[in-house]
Each structure stands twice: as structure tokens, then as C-alpha cells.
Structure 1
């Protein structure tokens, strides 16, 4: 550090006529450490200017440069952070606060000490030193105070010299020493001789001084005489002052008495003022007679009486919660008021609890009288009148919660007990009516559906688009009839949701279980008995018992679970009935229940309604999965008679009906993913069982079974456009194409086999006595079946045509390669074949 100080003095401060007095190695607090130096300097010229200079190494690192300069007079405060522990951090308050971290605590202390000394020596405005050890702030010696400003310097930051130990020579002293040294040529070469000469001259000067003093003895005698005369005058003045003091002593005694009287009067006024404040404090926190009357005998049935009781209870709670000042609890009047407050609190709590208990019981019994007519219309009774009447007491319930928690809890249990019985009766009767309506409507729908024509006989239009429109018409008609039971399920949910939401909102508002913290007042504590049999209010310290938001929600949910404990059971029973009526009902129930759960979770994910509907949704999802497994099981159980021919398999048309129904129900539904998974399971089962039946069929060729059924599957998937089954649609098309080609190859010469079988059946019906004009109304021999067979014949015919042409070219190629030059050719050409097939098609 010494080398750095000398370098800084030489390179930076000497050219600017400045002296370096203190230095510290620092970096800025809280930033990337970039070291620099803070230097305390003074100018060599007068008036002396004291500065704090920030010096930093250049980027190349070969020299130092001045970066920033502050005047010491602009410094307002020095904060050393900690006076008792070693801490290298300190702050300098200029126009803004500069935070520094020194390389060591010793350097920081040395620099702060230097700043303090410069402030004491050169500045009129004294700085404020905060958190600085008193040992660093020692006063400068009085001898130095007489030294002119700018005539001493020191280098702090590690040197032993300081501002107190070094004094520089004045200009006149320097001139005298220079002149003396010029008179002695050997002053520099022989310092001892020069010092000896100076000593002799000093002795000569001392002798001259002594002679001068002896010569001035006469003046000294005169001076002593004058001093004696002055002492005589002083004695005279002191005598006069003693006289004056004796005269003023009586005045002083009188003034002391007056002062003592004034002080006593002031103390009395102060005490009277304090006593008045205490009296006013106690009087202000006194409960009025009107409030006492309202608490003791106020009407709890009329709105006006309830409002008076609310105001009185709030005033009582405010008086009980007043923080008494020290000593008030020893006053008998205060004790009496506390006993009065406790008696009023207990009396009103009993009155309020008894009244609300009676209200709960009365309302619980009255509501059941209107139950029958409401359930007959499949609607639940509305409890809004009860809620409206009880909400008038919500502020009183809050008061009871804050003062008598045990009575508040008792009222909560009473309400839950009576309302759970009431809701259980209402909900049970409501669901009984819903089950009766659902079962009766389903029988009616099944009867009406049985009279409808089947899809195959109903599609009598000429074009495929009209046939599809007819199918959709009958599908929608079947939905309106057979699924009316599901509308009953939707109506049940529509009745239950507002009922639960209204009850939950009422419980939160009436029992004050909203989203806030609950504070139990300090005076709401149990009473203790005195030895004489009386009661005394226990006044504990002011403590707060807070309930978190989650616990408030838990209380509401527990109350709702007890009140509506039968809803989940009844819903599951209704769902089981709907599933028993028709397993396809689970599809619609899954969609509707998912929508209701999604809506409830958006309102409050942790509410009773959301939790209950979520549990019921699990049951509906299980029924849906069971329905899908049932479909697959029925596919696997299909048995084909060995003597009967196989056409479009029943589970293939069953999948078509299921897909049309599902697409109608699940349009824009939240649980579309569940249907897509079911689709994949069903279509894979369809594929597997089609191949199984085709392999087992003995009457119908395997290729025909595969071709017809996969063509039907491909047409169904192409029409419905189910995106998750795109891969299966392409696979069905490929299987249909492969088996069509195989059938054409293996069945050449027998293109009209199915048509022959068809007309053989027609002839058999006529032989059995069926009139010829009524044959077309037979299910298996209607016009649609004939038209379908005709289309299939055309498809097979074109495929046979392509296969004939392909084989003809193949045969001609073999003749050309195996029998060259033989002149053997086919007796007919490709053109002859095309004309032959064309003539057949035209005639057909």
C-alpha cells in the first residue's frame, strides 16, 4: 500500500498541487468486484480545499487515472454500518449514497478516521458519523488547533504518522533556515559542526534574553503596583456586590415560593386533565340503556326488532373488545361493567340460540307439506323463502360465532340435522317420480319404435342421398322416442344443480364461512367461578385464532355432504335404471354428466356439487365401458348356421347404428376422447369377427363374406367421416378390394349366382301361395334388395371384364413367346371382347 500511495502522490496529486492524506482500496457493494482507490486530499495553496478522489487503474493497467472527485464539504454523512463488529462495508452520502466495500476493516477505519480529522480541522459544518466506534473519533490536540490551516498533513491508511504528529514549516521559517545554511558553507558537508555552531548561537541568544529581562525590572515593579491597585478596586466592587446580593435574597425567596405554587397548580391541572380523559374513556365505552333493553327483551321476529338487536350486539361487542388501560381492572365500576357485559352477552346468546333453533324446527316441518305437488311435476321445492328469512339473522350469527363459538356450533349442527331430514324426504320422493316417469316413457318409446319400419324396408327412394336422408329421419325419430328417458335425467340434473348451489351459497352467507380470516375476540372466553359462588370474567391476553381459506371450504363441504347425503346414491340408482332400460343410454349420460361436471368445476373445483357430480361421472363412465364391452362380447357370440347363407353381418350393421347414434350424441362434447377410444376397440372387434365368420361360413364363399361386409364398413366410415378411424377406413377399403379381386378370379363363369338364388327364393314364395304383387313387400325380397344385387352384379361384371382382358393379353404374350412363327392366334380379339361385354351391358 505504501508503494501505491507514493505512486499516486507522484503521478496524480503532485502535478495538481495536492497532498494525499488517506487512502483505502474499495469496490462497489453488490456488483461485480472492480477495485479502485478512494483518496482523501488537501490542496497546498490557500484557501485549503479538501476532496475525496476516486482513482482507478487504466484498462491497460500500466498507470492510474482520476475517475471522480467530490468536495468534502458536500459530504453529509459517513455510515460505517457496524460499530461493534468488523465490517468492511461503509457508505458515503454525497448528492446520492455511494456504497463501498473496503479490502479490510483496518483500511476502512483508518480512512474514516482521516475523514473525521479533516472535517474537524478544515470544515465549519461538522459531518455526521453513524455506526462509528468512538475510539476512531478522538479529538485533535489543542496544540494543533493553533496551527494555521494547511500547515500540517498526514498520510493515513497504514502509516504511523498522522495529522497530530507532523507540522510543516512556514514560509518564513524556510527562508531563515535557507539563509542560515548559505552563511555556513559547511552546513551540508559537516552537519555536526553546523549543529555545534547553532548551539553556541542559541546560548548567546539565551544570555541576551536574560539580560533583557533583568534590565526591565523597573517596569515589572510598576506593573506589580498597578496590580495591587486593581486588587483594591476589586475588593470594593465585591463589597458592593455582597450588599446587592443580600437585598436580592429576599426577592429570590419570594420568587421561589411563587414558582413552587405555580408548579403545584400545574401538577393539579395535569392530574385533573388525565382524570378527565380516563373518565371520558370509560363513559364513551359504556353501553346505552336502549341497547341493554334490546339485548334482554328485543323482538327477534320483526325486521325492526332484528335490526335493533344487531345494533345492540355490535355495540356490546365493541365495548367488550376495548383494550383497558393499566389500572382500570382494579376499579370496582369497571368490574361491574364487565360483569354486566358478560351477563348481557350470555342472555342474548341464549335468546338467539333458542329462537333460531325453533325457526329451524318449524321451517323443517312446514316445507314437507308442499312436497307432493312439487314432485308430481318432477320439480324440487324451492327453499328461497326460508333462506331469505334466515339471512336476516346473518349478522347475529357472526356475532354469535365471535362470542359463543360453542352455541354457534350447536346451531350449525341443528340446522344440518333438520335440513338433512327434509332434503332426504324431498330428494327420495323426487327420484321416485323420476324413475317412474323414466320407466314408463321407455316402455312407451319401445312400443312406438316396434311399429316403425326397419331401415332396409323404409329406404324406398331411388338415389343414395335420399336413402341416407330417410335413415337419418328414422334415427332422429327413434332418438326422440327412445331417449326421452334421458331427457328426464337431464331434468333431474337441472333441478339438483340450482338447489345445491343455492344451499351452499346460503350456508356460506348465513354461517359466515366466506373467504376471510375469522378473529375470535379476547373476551369470548369461558367464565370462571369465584369461591363465593359468583362469576368473574376472565380477561386473557389479546390473542387471535385464524381459520385458513381451505378450512372454511372444508366446513362448507362437510355441511353440504351431511345435508345432501342421499343425492349421490339416488343419482347412481337412476343411472342404473337408465342403463338397464337401454345400455346405449350410457352414451348420452356420459355426455350430459361430463358437461355438468365441467360447468361445476369452472365455478368451484372443490365444491360439494363438483365433487358429487365427479363421483357420479365415474359410475357413468363405467357403464359406458360396460356397454362397449357388451357390444364386443355380442360380436364374439355370433353363430352362423352351416345351412344358411351369409350376407351383411348383424354386428356390422350394429356398429353402423352405434356410430350414427354416437356421432349424433357426442357432437361438440367434452368427452370425445372416450368415444374415439371406444371406436377403435369396436372396429378392431368388427374386423376380427368378420374374418372369423368368413372362415367358418360353408354356404357362402369366404371372399363374398369379406367383400360385402368390408365394403359396407368402408361405406359407413366414409359417410360418417370419423377422423380417429381413418386408418381403419383405408384398411377396410383394401380388404374389400383384395377380396373382390379374389372373388372375380375364382368365380368367373358364375356372375349371376346371387341373382339366381334371389329369384329362386321369389319362385319359392309364389309356390307357397304368396301373391305375385305382394312379393316385393317381403323383407328379404323387396325392391331395395333387388336393386342392391343389380348394382353388385354390375360391379362384378366390370371386374370380370377387366380380368378377361388381362388374361387375353397374357395368353397372347405366351403364344408369341412360346410358339413363334406358328401362325396360331385366338379366334377373337380384344375388340370383339369389348363389343361382347358392351352388348351384354346394354341389354342388361
Structure 2
């Protein structure tokens, strides 16, 4: 047998060095393998759970009169030196379990009660053999017995097998004890300790001795069973006879006992009779007591009910009583500002009183009482009277406030002075009655309809007067010269000095109109929604605005039960009221738009951009009419601009077709000027408006140009290429930055190339018609016959070729000069001549090179001027 690691002195010394400073004595140290894997059927650790070498050391430490025992786990560092890893107290050891999945029986678990709460499974310890396992476990059990006085639960170990192992290995352990005397602490396991530990699980020493004495009394063989049985029967009969004899000897005592029992029975019967009598009397007494208690309970309940009834009646009477101070305010009090606090308190009391007489607040049994019905009718009459008086006062109050402001001319714009409308004082005075309106709504929701109409009717007069005076003065104070609306008409001549007039003051006036009145209308809408108790979200201001005065009423101050941002069912009613409040004011905005259009139609672009900025910044749900107003203004501006575009397109189509059109048409450069100015006017998001106008202009211009060209087929290509070239030259810079014009530029470039190709081909073909006509005939015949047969065709003989070459190419330099002069004669602009002449020479050389290739293939021996010679001639001209 190999030497166990428990007997390794070097291992003990290494463990002592690792535990240096702990003042603990080592009882046993042994090598083990630690793993957390699952044992499979093969008895090996599962894949991915490799065992790690560890050393288990059992140690003791004496502290005063008690001894502590520890189980230390030591691991090897990277340098092979033992170092502490874990420390367990053996007093917490609750279970020792041998893993049944390990067929070798060398793997076990140590369960500590301090580790039960942990989610990680306890480690498994694997020994080299069963002897090492038994040796370690016996040592742990003995230490637990000596230190703690108790043993942990042992699972998976046969106790008898363990006892046999102790008996077989006792000499070896005793020898080990003598060998290790020089160590710090003995690690041998005594035979006595091992025997006691294991046998205690079976029978005690005293029981064992009694059993041996009993068995020693009866030394029997197999054949003596019948004799033993007979002996036991005889002894049983003797015992029974002795018992009968003892009973007979005690007969006098039995008689005395029987007499005592008889007398006791008589006493019990007498007592039973007495108890029956007492029970009857007690039952009658209990009935009397119950009757008395029932009467007392009824009287007590009646007293409590009477008291509660009095309290309820007092509360009811208190709720039915109208305080004199509130009755005075509700029936005939004044609505002056100084009396509003008393009026508000009276409204609150009246609302609470009415609410207290309703079924949820008042018990249903009280609601049908005559006094309650009469009091409810009185309160409703009082409420109707108060609501009527308050509504009439508020209608007159709104009308008087507006009439006072309208009668004072200093509130409005005057000649030479634009006046910004100021409603701060008006709102301040209205705000005094905001809480009154809220309470009127709570008392009678139907009363708000006439009040809202009265407020809208009065304030509408003020707003329309302010807008009309402001718009009139705005137009009167704006001095701007008119620009002609005839932008693309060729009959107006080339003078465009009028178009350069600065009309930015017109769009600035329109922007000022919006800046002043749009925030005002939004604020008025929001104030009206809050003041007149509409349950709608708070209105937001429209951007851009330079007036940050927030005159909104705090609805939360009027009724704290309202929630900000709550969607309301009466939003439609609010929009209808806002229409009554602001209707008619749009006419003054329309007048400014029409006035600006008459001065400069292109200012519609600037006004459209300004309007779009206001629309994009408008978010107020309470300003529905303002949003509609802005949309209508945008539509009107777009309509006016479309009218201008239609008139300009009509001017383009109205060109005089009876007069022969030559050179660049007048509307081509005029469109470039118009586009430049339109780009200068673009603001905000009005890009789409301008791009649509560009598209319409370009389509009309190109269609009109094609119609004019069709009227003069002889000079059609010249007219087209000159106008398309002029279009490209005039819009080159704008096309680089405007995508819609870039598309038109590409369209014009394509049309220019097509017209140019047709015109150049016609010039070249006119000058060398016979030469290229001869080449065309050859190309047509090459589709049907072989090249060798062509010289024998009619009109294509070698003689015919020589005649054509002589007539077309003799004096070719003069012919090319003639072609240049013809090109120069047809063009109206000398700027295009160099580029077109270069194209003309390239066209001629390409056609001649094709002709030379045909001749070399069909008439190989016929001499014609070389292509290089032609290049030199054309280059010299």
C-alpha cells in the first residue's frame, strides 16, 4: 500500500508555515482534489469541471476553557507554496455525505449550516483511496465529538463497514502515533476513540454486557429447543398459580372495597337529585336575567337612537339654514369690485349648500323629506336669481368697457403714428370677475353661452377698429414706388430700370402687421378661453413674436380641480366663439396683401415666407381661428402670386407671331432678371412656391420658343440654338444653387445640342452635297451587294467618282471659306461663331474621313485628297 499523505511530514510543516500566526495546532493534514463537477456514469468528473489540488488541515485552538476546531482549505500558489484559501468552523458542520455517483466511494461533501443560504453548491472533495477517506472522516467525527459534544449527520456510509475498517487499521494508526511523537501535535487516531464513535451508533456498552449475560445463561444447542420450551411452559404455569393464590388471600380486602363502592354510589345518587333541583332553579333564574337584559338593551338602544336622531336633525337644520349675510349678497347685493370677495364667498356657500342636498352627499331617505324639497326649491330659486343678476351685470360691464375704449381715439393708430393695441387694462378689469364666472359656471353652465356671445360681440368691435386703423395708417405711412407687372413682355423694350426699385418696405409692413396682431389675437384667444371657463389646453404663443406679455388667466387659480392639458369636449364650442370674437379682422390683412401685390407682385414671395414662419410656430389649440387666418393669408398670397405668374406667362405667349423673330427673344434675358430677383425675395419655406413658378415659366418659354421656331422652318435651328444658349448663359450662376433651375438648365442644354447638330449638319451638307450624296449611295448599296460590284452600278463608276471629286474638292479651301461665311451670315451673335465653326469643321472632317474610308474600300486605286491634307486646310482657315 502506498504511503498516505496524512503521514507526510513535509506536508505538515508546509501547512504549519501557511498557518503561522494563527496559534492553531494541526491535528491532521491530507491532500485532496476539489471539484464542483457532476459525476457521470463512468465515475469520472463531468466535462468542464476539472479537479483542483487542495490540502485539508484539521486544527485546534485553545481559548480559555474552551477549545475551537477548524477545517482549513489550503491551495498551491503559482510558486508551489501552500497558502490559506478557506476556513470553516467544525462546530457548524451539520452533514457528512459520501457522493453515491462516484463508484469508488472516494468523493464526499461536507455540509456546513452557515452555507445553506448560498446559491453555489458546496465543493466535492475526492481522496486518493477509501483508506484516506475513512481516516479523514474518522478524525473529523472524533474532533467534533471532543470539541462540540455532538456528531454531524452521516449519509452514504455503512457504519458497520466503518467499524470494521477501524478494527483492521488500529495497529497502523497506533504505530503512526509512535512515529509522529516529534511533531507539534499527534495526528494518530486512538483505537478507543474510533470504537466508541462508531459503536455508539449501535448499542451501548452496558446493553452489550446484559445481552452477553442473558445469552450466557442459556447455552443451548439445536437439539435442546423442545426441552427449553417445556421449561418455559412450566415456569408460566407456576407464575399463574402463584397469582391465583395471591388473589384468594386478598378476598377480605376486596369485600371492603366493594362496600365502599356501594356507599359511594348512594352518595352520588343523592347528589344527582340535589343537582337536578339546583339546575332547575338556575334555569329559571337565567331566564329571568335574560328577560331583564333584553329590556335594558332595548332601552339603551332607544336612548342611543334618539341621541343620534337629534344630532342628525340638528345637522340637517343647520344645512337648511341660509346665513343672513349670504342671503343679502345673493338677493340684492352689488357687483362692485369692493364687494366681489363677499359675492365669491356667497357663491361658494350656495354651491356647497346645493351639493349637500344632493343624494351622494345627503342620505337617500332624507332627499324625499318635505322640508328638504322645499329648501332645495328655495336654493334653486336663489341661484337662478343670482345668476340672472350677475349675467346682466357682466354683459353691461363688457359693453361699457369696450365703448369707453372705442370712444377714446388715443387707443388707435392716427395719422403719422402707428399705435400698438394695448389690452392690459381691459384684461385687468375683466380679471376681477374671473372667479365669479367660474362660480357662475358651477351654478348654471347654460348661463355662459349668452355671456360669451356678449363678450365676443363687444370685443370684436374693438379688435376690428384697431386692425382697420392700424392697416390704414400702415399703408399710408409706407412710401414705395410701384414696379410694373409686365415683366416678360417683349413689347416693353429693354429698359428694366423700374424693376430695380427697392420694395422691401412693403414686405416689412406686412411683417409688422403680423408681428403686432398675430400675438395679440393669440393672446386674446387664450385669455378668452380661460376667462370664459372653457376646459381646453393652455394656449401657446405663435412665433416669431417680440411681445412676451403673458396675460393668460390661471385657470388653476379659479378651480383647482381642473387639470392642465386636459382635452375638453367643448373645444368645438370654443372655436365657434373665437370665430364670433375675431371674425371680420381678416379683411384688413387681406387689404394689406392686395396693397403689397399692387406695388410689387414679387413681394408675395417674401410675404409667403413670413406667413409660413408664423404657421410653423403656431401650436395653440385655443387659437384655432388664428391658425385659420394664417392659412387663409397663405392661400390668398399664393393666389395673388399665381395670378402674377399667369399674367407673365400670358405675356410670353403674346409675342407677335406676325413679325419674323430673329436672335434672342426678349423674355429669355428678362426671365434671368426675374429669377434673380425672386431668389432675393425668398424667405423661410417659400421655396416650393418659387420652384412651381420657375417650372411654369420655363415650360411656357420653351413651348413658345418651339412654336416660334416652327413658324420659320428655314431658320428654326438657328433661333433655337441661339435662345437656348442665351438661356444657359443667363442662368449659369443661379442653376448652380437652385435645383429647379438646374433641371431647366439641363433641358436647355440638351435642346441646344440637338439644334446645333442639325444646323451644323445642314451647313456642311449644303456645301458638299454631291460628295456626301455619292457616299450615301455607296452605303445604301453595301447592304444588298458586295463592294466589288458597286463600281459597276449606274452612277457609281470610277468615272462618276472622278467627276464628283473634281467638282466638290477642286478648290476645297474656297468651299470651306464659303461654308464659314454662310455660318457667319446666319448667326446674329458673333459670340457663338467660334464654337460653332469648330463644330462645323469637326463635322466636315468626320464626314470626309468616312467618305475616304468608303473610297479606299470600293475604289482602292482611285486617288483622292488625304484626310490629313483636309485637316491642314481646315486648320489654316
Report the TM range for the smaller structure's normalisation. Answer: 0.5 to 0.7
Say yes or no: does 1:623 pair with 2:640.
yes
Residues of 2 paired with 1:509 and 1:247: CA distance?
81
Q: Are 2:616 and 1:598 equivalent residues in the alignment? A: yes
User: Following TM superposition, by how much is the alpha carbon of 1:331 offset from its aligned partner in structure 2, in angstroms?
Assistant: 6.7
Query: 1:514 — aligned with what?
Result: 535
Q: Look up the match of 1:695.
A: 710
2:608–2:634 Cα contact (<8 Å) kept: yes
The answer for the alignment partner of 2:733 in structure 1 is 719
Q: 1:486 aligns with which of 507, 510, 513?
A: 507
For residues 115-157 of structure 1, what are the alpha-carbon distances to aligned partners after superposition, in whole Å with 9 as ceiling and x for unaligned?
xxxxxxxxxxxxxxxxxxxxxxxxxxxxxxxxxxxxxxxxxxx
Alignment partner of 1:384 out of 412, 424, 432 = 424
Give 2:393's match in structure 1, choosing from 355, 360, 366.
355
Contact 1:300 1:306 in 2 (8 A): yes
Residue 816 and residue 331 in structure 1: after superposition, are their counterparts in 2 closer, same or farther (change >3 A)?
Answer: closer
In 2, distance between residues paired with 1:422 and 1:664?
38
Note the alpha carbon deviations across 1:85-110, whole angstroms, 9 max, x for none.
xxxxxxxxxxxxxxxxxxxxxxxxxx
Counterpart residue number, 1:500: 521
Cα distance, 1:582 vs structure 2? 4.1
CA contact (8 A) 1:294 1:308 kept: yes
**Does residue 287 of structure 2 align to residue 269 of structure 1?**
no
Out of 677, 692, 697, the residue aligned to residue 682 of structure 1 is 697
Select the residue among 429, 432, 437 that pairs with 2:472: 432
Alignment of 1:33-52 (within 5 A): none
What do residues 258-294 of structure 1 show as CA deviations (whole Å, max 9, x unaligned)? Answer: 7634641453134213422442465378665554455
Post-superposition Cα deviations, 1:778-804, rounded to whole Å, max 9, x if no partner, equal xxxxxxxxxx95533332343344345
Secondary structure of the corresponding residue to residue 321 of structure 1:
helix
Structure 2 vs 1, CA of residues 305 and 727 (structure 1 numbering), >3 Å: closer, same or farther? same
Q: CA 1:685–1:358 in 2, change beyond 3 Å: closer, same or farther?
A: same
Distance 1:558 1:707 in 2: 61
In structure 1, distance between residues paired with 2:744 and 2:451 = 64
Any residues of structure 2 matched to 1:9-24 within 5 Å, and which?
none
Match of 1:738 in 2: 754
1:833 is matched with 873
Matches within 5 A, 1:34-183: none
Report the CA distance between 1:690 and its aligned residue: 1.0
Q: CA deviation at 1:597?
A: 3.2
Unaligned runs of 5+ in 1: 1-222, 459-470, 517-547, 759-787, 838-844
Would you say 1:707 and 2:721 are equivalent positions? yes
Q: How many pairs are equivalent?
A: 528
Cα distance in 1 between the residues matched to 2:440 and 2:481: 53
Structure-2 change in CA distance of 1:819 and 1:248 (3 Å): closer
Mapping 1:124-523, distance limit 5 Å: 237-238=272-273, 242=277, 253=288, 256-257=291-292, 260-261=295-296, 263-280=298-315, 282-283=317-318, 288-295=323-330, 300-302=335-337, 305-322=339-356, 323-326=361-364, 328=366, 338=376, 341-342=379-380, 344-370=382-408, 374-376=412-414, 377-379=417-419, 381-436=421-476, 440-443=479-482, 478=501, 481-515=502-536
More displaced, 714-723 or 679-688? 714-723
Counterpart position of 1:650: 666
Return the TM-score normalized by structure 1. 0.53
Q: Secondary structure at the match of 2:422?
A: coil
1: distance between equivalents of 2:275 and 2:853?
166
1:495–1:797 distance in 2 versus 1, CA, 3 Å: same
CA distance in 2, matches of 1:348, 1:743: 95
- Structure 1 residues 350 and 667: CA distance shift in structure 2, 3 A: closer
Larger radius of gyration: 2
Given the superposition, is the C-alpha separation of residues 306 and 817 from structure 1 closer, same or farther in structure 2, using an over 3 Å criterion?
same
Quick one: distance in 1 between partners of 2:379 and 2:645? 70
**What is the CA deviation profile of residues 396-425 of structure 1, one whole-angstrom value per residue up to 9, with x for unaligned ones?**
112112223443322222212222233333
Distance 1:248 1:257 in 2: 14
Contact 2:522/2:623, CA 8 A, preserved across alignment: no
Q: Partners of 1:301 and 1:577 in 2: how far apart?
A: 47
Query: What CA deviation, in whole Å up to 9, does each residue of 1:51-102 have, x standing for no partner?
Result: xxxxxxxxxxxxxxxxxxxxxxxxxxxxxxxxxxxxxxxxxxxxxxxxxxxx
Which 10-residue stretch deviates more, 602-611 or 486-495?
602-611
**Separation (CA, whole Å) in 1 of partners of 2:291 and 2:379:** 52
8 Å contact from structure 1 (residues 710, 732) kept in 2: yes
Q: Comparing 557-566 with 573-582, which one deviates more in the overlay?
A: 573-582
Distance 1:231 1:651, change over 3 A: farther
Provide the TM-score with structure 2 as the length reference: 0.51
Distance 1:691 1:255 in 2: 124
1:588: how far off?
3.4
Identify the residue that residue 245 of structure 2 maps to in structure 1: none
Distance 1:510 1:617, change over 3 A: same
| Aligned partners of 2:849 and 2:867 also within 8 Å | no
- Contact 1:640–1:646 (Cα < 8 Å) also in 2: no
CA distance in 2 between counterparts of 1:810 and 1:244 reads 151
C-alpha deviation, 1:360, in angstroms: 0.6
Cα distance in 2 for partners of 1:254, 1:655 equals: 121
Q: Contact (CA 8 Å) 1:391, 1:509: kept in 2 or not? A: no
Partners of 1:234 and 1:733 lie apart in 2 by: 141
CA distance in 2, matches of 1:243, 1:813: 157
Alpha-carbon separation, structure 2, partners of 1:623 and 1:362: 41
* Secondary structure of 1:701's aligned partner: helix
Structure 2: gaps of 5 or more residues: 1-257, 538-565, 764-816
State the partner residue of 2:162.
none
How far apart are 1:580 and its partner, in Å?
4.0
CA contact (8 A) 1:751 1:793 kept: no
Kept in 2: contact 1:593–1:617 (CA 8 A)? yes
1:754–1:402: structure 2 CA closer, same or farther, 3 Å change rule?
farther
Q: Distance in 2 between matches of 1:329 and 1:825?
A: 127
User: What displacement does 1:371 show?
Assistant: 5.0
Distance 1:244 1:696, change over 3 A: closer
Residues 1:553 and 2:571 are matched in the alignment:
yes
